[in-house]
Amino acid sequence: MNTTSPVRLSHVIRRFTLVLLIGTCAPMYGEATAAKLESNEPSLLFTRDDIARIRANLDLPRFALLRSRVFPADLAASERFLTEELRVGVFLPDFVRTCQLLENAAFAYVLSGDPRQLNLAKLAAGRLGDYERWDYFLEGGRHTFGLQRASEATIAFCLALDWLGGALDPAIRAHWEDLVATKGAPACYLALYGMRYPDRVQGWTIDARANLKFEGDLSRWPLILNATNLKALPTCGLGFAALTLHGRHPQAARWLEMARQSARSYATMYGLDGSFDEGIGYWGYATTGLAMFFEAQHRRLGLDDRKLINFPGTVRFALHMAMPTAVSAGSDGAAMVMAGDEKDTVNFGDAGRGIDVSAAPWVSRTCADPVAQFVADHVGQMDYLAAAIWHDPAAVSEPPPPELLDVRFSNDIVISRTGWSPDDGVAALRSGGPANHEHADRNSVIFKVYGERLLNDPLHASYDHRKPRWLLRQTEAHTSVLIDGQGHQYHDGREGTNSSWARAQVTAYRTGPGWMTVTSDATEAYQLVNPAVQRVERTLIYLKPDVLVLLDRVRLTGREVPVQVRYQVYNDDRAGSARGGDGQFVIQRPLAELTGTVYATGALSVRADRLSLPEEDGIYPYVEVISAASLRHDILTVCTARKSGGSPGRLLVDPITGGWRIHGEYQGRKIDVRVELPENAPPVVRL
């Protein structure tokens, strides 16, 4: 009697399950198309009635860079790339560029009717069809799942199908829809299925033929990525595929259910106040993708998930994370927070210097939010085509009200500022828990005023733990505390840039006219690597705009050890420097400088040095305050900033019973602050 072994039966069941999940490869949908498509009417993101406004948007200076990509001066270069230079099978950058060409050319055609753009879109689509797979990730070594590449291609094809309408022959349209149904949607679905049910994943790997340099451990990725920005794009891609083939493909309803479930679960990654744990560098990518999906499904099917996230709040998150820069005013005279070559952010974690606010005009339009319109008009850049589609220059715009000058987000990041103009001051504290793309930066501080970063957080840390610039992720590369030269817990990078276990929490936060004070306890983060740690606490007192006081308190058991407090210098342009000694240090930048005066309950010293990196990886100066070996460390640093050439001034610091008094006059302001240090409670700050 023939029997099927349990192992063989399990294999058959898994294969059958994957077939059901992915769908068949044959185009099983019917000939009918949606009514709006029959009338050649775009419907995912706009209608033909919007085209004149969109054209006008692209003529605005705000969209100059986007226009140059949609209507490139040298169209022949794109044609040459697709016909002669593209390497089929190469994803970075060839596949990515081809997706962008398809989307941009289809958009250009619907706006201009230029037949060359139509031909370019067809050519790009054909070259994407030449790829055997649309992504380099494999499930069980065989089935493609898509995080970015398959998602990007699916979105590009769906938008092109929507925008080109009757300009496509029925046979071409059917072929493109088949590509979406066989190479795009199944890959997006399988990625989201794996995140939803990580225990059912047979194993995620990278296709060796893709020749990627990443050699990390993917075994926990289905669990890890479920809480990261890499869930947002396949959600949008799968949603677009479901909407494009709605009612015409047997898997479309299943795809839509998965996309909506994924969006709902991912929405919990945003705080109720709109904060975003992965930082501003990944906020625009994730938020724009979700907004596109929500908008498209509402337009196509009347399904409204547009309130799953506090979108007005999350646009304000982007606003808070923007740094002032010394740039020219906008067309209405308002200072643009970031524009042109000068960009800056509160870059905790893997954020860069730019903010993509493409979602802001959608929030302005959808929520009638004048602050979101201000962000759309003046903050960051807008790199997605959707921004030009949604932007309404006639919408009411209002600058941020005074109550937005100070914020403690629900994830315990604290930012205090004097405004959004070039010389305004910003002080930011990184408290809170772990997150994808984080650094080992609990209780670290960024301070910028008079157009200069005076206390820095490093940019451009390596994503590869084998590279020297991985050091820039460590505590020692931040404006933070080291205990006997050691920072707090962080992972080893073998799984990528995922979360650590390190956690801090804000224990006190107050604001008032011209000041903010916050205390954050990072004891737990340091205890994970040093059981002798009993307390690691930082208090920040910001006397706006240019006085910043830091109080660091460390308590230990066992062996007495020194504690170091580091102050990092921004030197990416090789224009930063530092010097230190005799209880004082100076950090200099071209437009401004900062003097720090240091006090402690024990002996201390101050020195200037640089991170141990090869010079080709950058020169990173820092100041280090060293509190001599002890079990109890209380270190007070009073920082005063000024424009270059200005009088340094000096505030007096006197010991008082159980603390210090900081007083005097600085830049015409009288200052008198008392800091009391109860042993089992946060410091008491009296202003």
Residues in contact with 336: Cβ distance below 8 Å, sequence separation at least 6, in sequence order = 327, 328, 329, 330, 378, 379
Ranges of residues in the chain whose predicted pLDDT is under 70: 1-41, 326-342
The alpha carbons of the chain give a radius of gyration, in whole angstroms, of 27
- Can you give the pLDDT at residue 172? 98
484 in Cβ contact with 415 (< 8 Å):
no
- Pairwise CA distance, residues 299 & 44, whole Å: 6
**What is residue 500's DSSP assignment?**
-
- Can you give the pLDDT at residue 287? 98
State both tokens at 182.
């066989």
Q: Which CATH architecture has domain 405-686?
A: Distorted Sandwich (2.70)
The neighbouring-strand residues paired with 183 are none
- Pairwise CA distance, residues 480 & 470, whole Å: 17
- Pairwise CA distance, residues 428 & 506, whole Å: 13
**DSSP string of 220-251?**
THHHHGGGSGGGHHHHHHHHHHHHHTTTTSTT
Write the pLDDT tens digit of every residue in 93-134.
999 999 999 999 999 999 999 999 999 999 999 999 999 999
Which uninterrupted H or E stretch holds 256?
helix 252-267
Place of tokens 């994943």: 201
Q: What letter represents residue 571's amino acid?
A: N
Write the pLDDT tens digit of every residue in 440-466.
999 999 999 999 999 999 999 999 999
- Can you give the pLDDT at residue 40? 52
- To the question of pTM greater than 0.85 for the whole model, the response is yes
Domain with CATH 2.70.98.70 in the chain: 405-686
Q: What letter represents residue 38's amino acid?
A: E
State both tokens at 350.
């893997």
- Can you give the pLDDT at residue 342? 63
